[in-house]
């Protein structure tokens, strides 16, 4: 959730409270894609990035 913090100390307190709340009831992260799917997605992103750079450059 977003919040407004008036000082660094207030922000740090909010971050620590969030961490404490998450750690009180931890849940394991579950990957929804395989490593091959993730790598293929990264490859497509890189190809699009290179194509855009070639058009601009």
Tens of pLDDT, residues 12-53: 999 999 999 999 999 998 889 999 999 999 999 999 999 998
Q: Is residue 24 part of a domain?
A: yes
Give domain status of residue 45, yes or no.
Answer: yes
**2 located within any domain:** no
Q: What is the pTM of this model?
A: 0.47
Domain that holds residue 37: 8-56
pLDDT value of position 29: 87
CA-based nearest residue to 5, from 13, 18, 22: 13
- Say whether pLDDT at 1 is over 90: no
Task: Determine the length of the chain.
Answer: 57
Question: How confident is the model at residue 31, as a pLDDT?
Answer: 84
Report whether 3 contacts 14 (CB < 8 A).
yes
**The pLDDT of residue 3:** 76
Tell me how many domains the chain contains: 1
């Amino acid at each position: 959730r977003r919040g407004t913090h008036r000082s660094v100390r207030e922000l740090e307190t909010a971050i620590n409270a969030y961490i404490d709340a998450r750690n009180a009831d931890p849940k394991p992260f579950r990957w929804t894609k395989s490593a091959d799917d993730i790598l293929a997605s990264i490859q497509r992103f890189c190809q699009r990035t290179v194509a855009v750079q070639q058009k601009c450059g």
